[in-house]
Structure 1
Amino acid sequence: MDFLTRLLGGSSQKKKAAANNPQQRLARFKQRYNQILQTWQKSETLANDRDALSNVRRGFQALTAILNDESRSPAPHLCLAYAAADQIYTAVSKIAATSHDEGVVRDAVGVYNALIDSEEEDFLENDVFAVSLMNFIGRTVGSGSMGVGEDIEADIVELLFGIAAKIRLQPEILPVWFTTAAADSNGRLVNRKVDFAGVTQKEDFPLCYQLIDHVHHEGRIGDFARTGLLYIFESASKSMTLEQWIVNSDLPTLMASGLGALYSQLSRKLSILHPDEGMPLILALSDYTEMQSNAQAESFFSDDFQSHMVTFLSYLTFWQDVLEHCRSIDVRHTLIDHFQVLFLQQLLYPSLLESSDVDGGSAVAVLTYLRRILDALDHPELVHMILHYLLALPDYAATSPKAPRSSVTLKRRQSLMLLNLDKDDDRMNPSLFNLVDLVLGSTVSRNPQTVIASLKLTTVILGKNHGYALGSMIKIMDVNQKDPHRTSGALDAELETYLNLAIGLAGESGVDDAYNTHLKDKLSLLESHPCTLKALALPVTPVKAGFFDSEVGPREVGPHYLVPEDPLFKALLDLLLRFLTNDVETNLALTEAIINLGTCSQLRLEGWLSVDPVDYRFRDDDLEPDQFSTDSLRDMYRANRQPTWDSSATPPLLACLQSLQAQVDALRDDIQGWEDHVSSRKLAFKFHEDILEANKTAPTPIKVAKPVETPAGSWTPQIPKYMLDGPTTPSRAQSPRGRKEGLDTRGTPAASPVSSMLGGATLIGSPARGASPFTAPRGANRQTLILDVNANFATITNSDLLKRRIRFRRTAGSQTVEVMLSKYMPPPRSPPEKGSEAADPIAEAEAEAGDDGDDIREASLLHIITNVVILQEFVLEIVALMQVRASLFGEVKFA
């Protein structure tokens, strides 16, 4: 036995030694390579010879294995030296291109990868290698090529990415992959530009053109292509020839046209209604299912639309990354100019101009796309360009980048502007119709989806790009006096008024816990606001902003008042007055927009949210003590007095909320058990939220995925989180609170300053849990709890009492809404049958208007109760906002 063991061991050691022997390895390599050549030469038509294809594939795989093994072995590396001397890659390229077989192409890519990853023999510095590789890629994935599967195409683009990464790290190899015959004797590039589009010069830099041909793809292909092209633009600052070549080429045109192509793939008509399956609880406990979308509109929540949207936003983010990393001023200016003319002015703005509220979805689509674009962009130049143009802010040229441009880029910009002027007419001028007009018109629309989309876009602009909204979307008056006029006593009186209003709407249960949570949320929201960041920042010495040659941005935001006649604010108040009959999603977007309006540290609350100090009234019997030891004590006493005010001095927002409270009081007086219904609804939201939290924290079976072998030298780009996260319904959809994300924010990046609004515990109902229909039995498993909750929710929605519909009448020109309770009790409305013709919500709403122009709306009791719970949360948000602002910004005086 020992003899056999030693014999077998010795044989194994001999085989291992033979495998590591450079000479024997070279012999095997030559043998395999010669077999491949012989098979190729003997086959008359390689594409139709299956046996020959199999032999070639096995040969390529063997070459790859030997090269990878040699790269891990100590020198000498004879196989790599032989591959470089004999230029085997030339034959590999020809064989793979003539095979018309995906398997052979995949194995050929493996051979090229092995040669490049060896980092020996300077393959990337070899002109013949570069030509051979690009010819191979052009024949396999180029235009009019054989066509391969996405997985193979991804491998090829990954190979291109690896070369671009090497060029970025080793600029000296750039001339191997980028050559131009237009350079003079001094190496300067001769201007070959003939028109604004630039010159197509694929023969100069085929690697770059291959990357740009794939940047629009989804998944790995697009990620590798975009990152590789990003490295090319970054390398332009290290090569004057490449810099001038990019400026003169059609590369910027292709990039802008590609962005426009992806935008054009998005549906022209869009529906943002949630599907019945998996509908959020807060929508299910309302009349949301009665809303019908246009059958021609694509659903925002469909997989196809989400896929197109993610691809478009990825490419838009790629533009932002290029501008962020490109150190070449001329290249950056050229890209920005093409973005402005070819995408913004010739595609994005016309889609805004052509949108309509009567065709059932085009206005919704444009508003939603603009919101997603602004939410995804953070680059100051792109944001400035889009908002400055779409909002028709004055004199764009005066606020555009002021750094001196080279003669080439200056002439190019002039030609672009002239081209745009030639094609534009009076109808294509933002000064006549712009984003402000679209938002204001959409906010007062009869179509709930249009209103929702407009409010969400408004929220993004107010919260993230606040400086651009001032003077355009919202009308303001500057404040010369910086010292506060409001007193601490007035603040206490206002907080008490709002708090009593909140309790009067939906009871006192859970208010303390909810309010404490709102305080934390509002502090976080205020601290992240761009105006707050500037107001609270420590004074520092101005520093030059790196390689950025300009500091474009919004206007400087100083202290200001909101003009009482502001059209947008009046539209928000008009929506708020109809809060009880609005659909739930409109109310969530409305409250978020109003709260974001109040988060600007420079906007004074007087006149719209709080009482103007000139209207304070103090009681006659509130006399000052005869003597104070110091003047400061007298001032403190005066500042802490709680004033009153006349009804005419009531802030518009408070007056609107008081009108809603009167509507709720009328419902409470007429409907038996109103308080119990409201408490049960609050408890239902709380219990359902607890169930969801329990599902998140409960242990789940761990799925062990099969490990995926990654080829040596491969790289996986960093994919944004919003691309990796599956489409889920955020927490806001389950309760009236938790406005951390909107109801439709699938795939939305979570870094937006306006996305962090509410969170934490919701209102807790006052009835004991044991007396509630939502009792959680001890020891019950999660599945049983969910089934039990769903059954009880079905009982609620099927209740005849809660199906009772109530009409609200608002006389034309009046701010008073009459609740028509016992006067009118229409029968419950049954939802439309599936497949039936969807009703036009605009025509239906107009049909409900009275003969004298009165606004008549109706909703079920189920729907109204849900809105009352949301309204109480909103009022608590206002109280928390006022209190946090007062302490954070010193808005009230204590002396």
Structure 2
Amino acid sequence: MDFWSRLIGGSRSSTKTPRTTTPVERLTAFKKTCNSLQQIWRSSGSPSREAAANLHTRHCIDRLNHVLSDESRGPAPHPCLSYASTSQIFVTVTKLALTYQDEVIIGSAAVFFNTLIDAEIEGIVDNRVFSRALVDLVKRANVNSEDVESRLVELLFGVANNIRLQPRILPAWFFPNRSQLPEEEGSGRIEERQFEGATRKDDFPLFYLLVDYVHREGRAGDFARTGLLYLIETAKQSKELERWLIESDLATLMATGLGALYSQLSRHVPSPFAHGEMPTIIALSDHIPVPTLLEPPTGSDFESFLSYLLFWQDTIDHCPSAEVNDTLLDHFQVLFLQQLLYPSLLESSDVKGGSTAAVLTYLYRILDAIDQPQLVHRILHYLLASPTEKEPVVEVRSDRVRKHMSMSRRKSLEMLAAFAGEEENPSPSLFNLVDLILLSIKSKNEDTLVATLRLVAILLRRHHSFAGSLIKTNDPALDGRRTVGALNAEMQQLLSLATTISDDPSIHESYESYAKDATAVLESRLFIPSPRSSLLDGPADQPLEVRTDDAVFTAVISRLERFFSNSVMTNLALTDVITSLASSNLVSLDGWLLVHPSNYQYQKSAAKEESPSEPKESSGDEPNPDDPVAAIKESLLEPTWSENSVPPVLKVLKKLVDQIETWRQEIPDFDILIAARRELLHSGDTLMESRAPTRPPTRPPTRPSSRAPLSRVRSDQERSVSRGRTTEIIYDARLQSPGPSNRESTPASSPHRQTPSQPRPPQMADNVRRWMAKPYHVEESGELRPAPENGNGLGEEAGDQEPQAEVLPNFVTLGHILTNVVILYEFILELCAIVQVRSTLFEEAVYQ
């Protein structure tokens, strides 16, 4: 072996100290180093030798780590590890590290303890002296380095992991005062001071050290949160630990810690568009800086709060004790929801620069982040002032009725109720989240409006089992399913609206893309309540029907009627609300998006008139009512319906499309403008070629097979482009002036035709920008009227950007209208895809 080592290592191997020593030699060297540390500790009172002792201590601990590391990787026996356990050298290491408060020594001491923990030697982790030395090191060490701090917290995590795997070592770390423990349940005798929720750090110091680091970011916070989860999970194997978790201030610390982080959040959300950059779809509109459309950059404070909230979610998921879980949730509701979150919503201000937009955005982010059923149920059950007959109801199982609660749990509830009753706080029974949403959705403050729509959308998308608490619903019909022919009629009506807006030859590719997205969304959102669940949210049999007279629904429809005058961000959030409602299997489409099946009118007589002219296959007998072919033919009949039966969403969409038809007659080359705007939105920051076509296109140009901008901007990953470049687009040389369109083709020799190599005339770009900035006045009813040519100065601005209507808030530009027309087109296609996919996935279209 030595021959091969010398051959491979070469001449360098002869200069190194051999690492392969016998166990006896290794133990001798280890004992010598331990004696040196003992000697340093005994003589550490001399100030003159402090610097030398500090350096000597570093070297000695490093040598211990080196020997233990080599030994732990080798085969047994491990004499040095056994000697470290019996000699308790770890006590000396802790004393020296705390004496010198040197971060290098503290870091080396952390490595030393970590090696002993990983070695799993008998008499180490289950030793109370070892636990006291480790706790003292972590508690009293004064460190500023994140790396050293994370090493110390990693020690706590390592111990928690060992306790989870070997619960028998718990007594070495958890030693409650036996005289303070309650007597056996049912005896009726219990010490009153047990239920004060007082801090009991001496009982379980390891637990409280982990709690101190739970809110931290980075590795230290990750180790602390995971270690604490391991300890809480161990409660299922220790009744004593479970009782201690209920009686201690764990729930109070966690709830007040979450509340403290929430209280530090700013009540003003900054704009997400930094340095003048924004998505193309926002840049090509009359942009008003609304910070709540995209994921707001709420900063490190909110990220810390969100991390702590996710820790709450993980704790409830991993806690095996129902009573500990209920104790945590009770404190969460009283100390966070009731004392902080709800008052912040109630006291928020809707004025310009107020806090309503911020607190609604925080609530939206909270509901978007969590998915733990019990936690979601507590939040929405409280804020929405549920339940009603069809709303979330908590079912208490027989093993959790009050008479079977432990004495600790009962007293904990009494103390929490007394604490909650000390102050009279407003209750959601008088003013709940629905009332706030209703006020905010009618707000004239754009920040508040967009934040409210985002909140409604996330409620309907992520937690649609509570849709019945947000929007009033009716019991479903006995059989609300429609025939295949009725579905075809509905689909043709929706698709005809889209093709009226833009006769795009690539509509099939666009629709296929939306159908794939709708399939993924509907499959992921399919809600099937379990009969064994303790929480039943939403209907369990058939989807509920939306009441069209509901105040929130009516407010959404009112905003939809002002679609073209809305800001782009409002429309993106508004369409997200409607598609989220449409994609819920707990909500029926009948009556608000599709015609109710009871209002269908079938022309059966016309079908019967055609039958006599055809030869009858039968022998003159009446047709068999059980004939499957006849039933299929009848199911394929497409019904009609009266104007009064048209659902409100479809009625508004028709009205908007009629307005587009009016503009098509009034505005020259309107179809080309729409097609060019769609092409620009789909291409992102890629500019179209600066040349005019030989002939004006008879159809809108095709777009690449990609997702629509409507879906792309809703996602969290958006590309931001500089606004100054996206507006420099030449649609056609004929559009250099806003005069009548020349329908004749431009000759090839025309000076208006530009080859790719020729520079673009500056006045052409100015004319197009001026044409896109043509103003339209917004009436109080939401209708748009053309403004006088020079009535407001719009179109006179120079520069590379489209003139903005935000200077005069009652005006919008033609460019803004075109962007909203494109959004409407994509929105209708998205609705079509959702209707078709859910009819198959949810079996809502059948053959009779």
What secondary structure does 1:859 align onto?
A: strand
Distance 1:398 1:412, change over 3 A: farther
- Cα distance in 1 for partners of 2:276, 2:315 equals 40
Describe the superposition over 1:189-238 as per-residue Cα deviations: whole angstroms up to 9, x where unpaired. 99656376512111111100100011011111111000000001011111
Give the partner amino acid of 2:794. Answer: P
- Cα distance in 2 for partners of 1:664, 1:649 equals 23
Asked if 1 retains the 8 angstrom alpha-carbon contact of 2:771 and 2:795, the reply is no
- Cα distance in 1 for partners of 2:408, 2:598 equals 60
1:377 alignment partner, one of 350, 366, 370: 370
1:561 alignment partner, one of 508, 525, 545: 545
Corresponding residue of 2:415: 415
Question: Are 2:340 and 1:329 equivalent residues in the alignment?
Answer: no
Q: Quote the offset at 1:77 in angstroms.
A: 2.7
What secondary structure does 1:348 align onto?
A: helix
Alignment of 1:324-403 (within 5 A): 324-358=317-351, 360-394=353-387, 399=394, 401-402=396-397, 403=400
What secondary structure does 1:806 align onto?
A: strand
Give the partner amino acid of 1:419. Answer: F
Question: Are 2:621 and 1:668 equivalent residues in the alignment?
Answer: no
Asked if 2 retains the 8 angstrom alpha-carbon contact of 1:167 and 1:174, the reply is yes
**Higher alpha-carbon deviation: 12-21 or 158-167:** 12-21
What secondary structure does 2:608 align onto?
A: coil
Q: Quote the offset at 1:97 in angstroms.
A: 0.5
Question: Are 2:520 and 1:524 equivalent residues in the alignment?
Answer: yes
Q: Quote the offset at 1:745 in angstroms.
A: 13
2:837 alignment partner, one of 858, 880, 884: 884
- Cα distance in 1 for partners of 2:785, 2:372 equals 49
Alignment of 1:443-592 (within 5 A): 443-470=441-468, 472-484=469-481, 486-531=482-527, 533=528, 550-551=534-535, 553-554=537-538, 556=540, 558-592=542-576
Asked if 2 retains the 8 angstrom alpha-carbon contact of 1:611 and 1:650, the reply is yes
What secondary structure does 1:30 align onto?
A: helix
Asked if 1 retains the 8 angstrom alpha-carbon contact of 2:131 and 2:173, the reply is yes
**Higher alpha-carbon deviation: 861-870 or 167-176:** 861-870
Asked if 2 retains the 8 angstrom alpha-carbon contact of 1:271 and 1:298, the reply is no
Q: Quote the offset at 1:350 in angstroms.
A: 1.1
- Cα distance in 2 for partners of 1:832, 1:392 equals 54
Give the partner amino acid of 2:471. Answer: I
Question: Are 2:592 and 1:608 equivalent residues in the alignment?
Answer: yes
Question: Are 2:240 and 1:270 equivalent residues in the alignment?
Answer: no
Describe the superposition over 1:838-872 as per-residue Cα deviations: whole angstroms up to 9, x where unpaired. x999xx99xx6xxxxxxxx4212222111111110
Distance 1:388 1:596, change over 3 A: same
Asked if 1 retains the 8 angstrom alpha-carbon contact of 2:539 and 2:586, the reply is no
What secondary structure does 2:140 align onto?
A: helix
What secondary structure does 1:479 align onto?
A: coil
- Cα distance in 1 for partners of 2:68, 2:128 equals 21
**Which structure 1 segments of 5+ residues have no match?**
141-145, 535-539, 692-730, 747-764, 772-787, 834-838, 849-856
Corresponding residue of 2:692: none
Q: Quote the offset at 1:743 in angstroms.
A: 7.0
Q: Quote the offset at 1:384 in angstroms.
A: 1.0
Q: Quote the offset at 1:64 in angstroms.
A: 0.7
Question: Are 2:799 and 1:800 equivalent residues in the alignment?
Answer: no
- Cα distance in 2 for partners of 1:519, 1:10 equals 69
Alignment of 1:47-196 (within 5 A): 49-140=50-141, 146-183=142-179, 194=193
**Higher alpha-carbon deviation: 64-73 or 217-226:** 64-73
RMSD: 4.0
- Cα distance in 2 for partners of 1:414, 1:732 equals 59
Distance 1:818 1:353, change over 3 A: same
Q: Quote the offset at 1:611 in angstroms.
A: 2.4
Corresponding residue of 1:252: 251
Distance 1:407 1:494, change over 3 A: same
Asked if 1 retains the 8 angstrom alpha-carbon contact of 2:352 and 2:445, the reply is no
Question: Are 2:561 and 1:596 equivalent residues in the alignment?
Answer: no
- Cα distance in 1 for partners of 2:392, 2:581 equals 29
Distance 1:76 1:518, change over 3 A: closer
Describe the superposition over 1:480-526 as per-residue Cα deviations: whole angstroms up to 9, x where unpaired. 42253x44333333322221211222332421111111122222222
- Cα distance in 1 for partners of 2:177, 2:552 equals 59
Corresponding residue of 1:215: 214
Give the partner amino acid of 1:413. Answer: L
- Cα distance in 1 for partners of 2:396, 2:719 equals 33
Paired residues, number:
765
Describe the superposition over 1:212-269 as per-residue Cα deviations: whole angstroms up to 9, x where unpaired. 0110111111110000000010111111111111111111111111111222222122
Corresponding residue of 1:440: 438
- Cα distance in 2 for partners of 1:652, 1:799 equals 37
1:431 alignment partner, one of 429, 432, 441: 429
Task: Provide TM-score, normalisation by structure 1.
Answer: 0.78
Asked if 1 retains the 8 angstrom alpha-carbon contact of 2:271 and 2:290, the reply is no
Distance 1:44 1:745, change over 3 A: farther
Asked if 2 retains the 8 angstrom alpha-carbon contact of 1:260 and 1:343, the reply is yes
Describe the superposition over 1:587-641 as per-residue Cα deviations: whole angstroms up to 9, x where unpaired. 1111111011112335332322122345445679835234574435555555434
Question: Are 2:640 and 1:647 equivalent residues in the alignment?
Answer: no
Give the partner amino acid of 1:865. Answer: L
Task: Work out which of the two has the higher radius of gyration on C-alpha atoms and give 1 or 2.
Answer: 2
- Cα distance in 2 for partners of 1:622, 1:393 equals 51
- Cα distance in 1 for partners of 2:63, 2:795 equals 73
Q: Quote the offset at 1:433 in angstroms.
A: 0.9
- Cα distance in 1 for partners of 2:432, 2:148 equals 46
2:715 alignment partner, one of 734, 741, 745: 741
Asked if 1 retains the 8 angstrom alpha-carbon contact of 2:708 and 2:826, the reply is no
Task: Provide TM-score, normalisation by structure 2.
Answer: 0.82
Give the partner amino acid of 2:645. Answer: A
Distance 1:623 1:490, change over 3 A: same
Give the partner amino acid of 1:573. Answer: I
Asked if 2 retains the 8 angstrom alpha-carbon contact of 1:608 and 1:653, the reply is yes
Q: Quote the offset at 1:394 in angstroms.
A: 3.6
- Cα distance in 1 for partners of 2:501, 2:253 equals 58
Describe the superposition over 1:625-670 as per-residue Cα deviations: whole angstroms up to 9, x where unpaired. 3457443555555543434444333221122112212222233223
- Cα distance in 2 for partners of 1:464, 1:832 equals 46
Describe the superposition over 1:706-739 as per-residue Cα deviations: whole angstroms up to 9, x where unpaired. xxxxxxxxxxxxxxxxxxxxxxxxx999923336
Corresponding residue of 2:750: none
What secondary structure does 2:162 align onto?
A: helix
Q: Quote the offset at 1:821 in angstroms.
A: 5.2
- Cα distance in 2 for partners of 1:667, 1:510 equals 23
- Cα distance in 1 for partners of 2:706, 2:164 equals 45
Asked if 2 retains the 8 angstrom alpha-carbon contact of 1:271 and 1:300, the reply is no
Give the partner amino acid of 1:517. Answer: S
Asked if 2 retains the 8 angstrom alpha-carbon contact of 1:443 and 1:454, the reply is yes
Describe the superposition over 1:456-485 as per-residue Cα deviations: whole angstroms up to 9, x where unpaired. 111121122222220x2111111242253x
Distance 1:377 1:185, change over 3 A: closer
Q: Quote the offset at 1:292 in angstroms.
A: 6.5
Q: Quote the offset at 1:93 in angstroms.
A: 0.8
Asked if 2 retains the 8 angstrom alpha-carbon contact of 1:19 and 1:25, the reply is no
What secondary structure does 1:432 align onto?
A: coil
Distance 1:333 1:397, change over 3 A: farther
**Which structure 2 segments of 5+ residues have no match?**
617-622, 688-704, 721-728, 736-757
- Cα distance in 2 for partners of 1:830, 1:25 equals 88
Q: Quote the offset at 1:417 in angstroms.
A: 2.1
Distance 1:447 1:732, change over 3 A: farther
- Cα distance in 1 for partners of 2:536, 2:196 equals 26
Q: Quote the offset at 1:393 in angstroms.
A: 0.9
Describe the superposition over 1:422-478 as per-residue Cα deviations: whole angstroms up to 9, x where unpaired. 3124xx1101111111111111111222122111111121122222220x2111111
- Cα distance in 2 for partners of 1:354, 1:56 equals 59
Give the partner amino acid of 1:407. Answer: M
Give the partner amino acid of 1:826. Answer: N
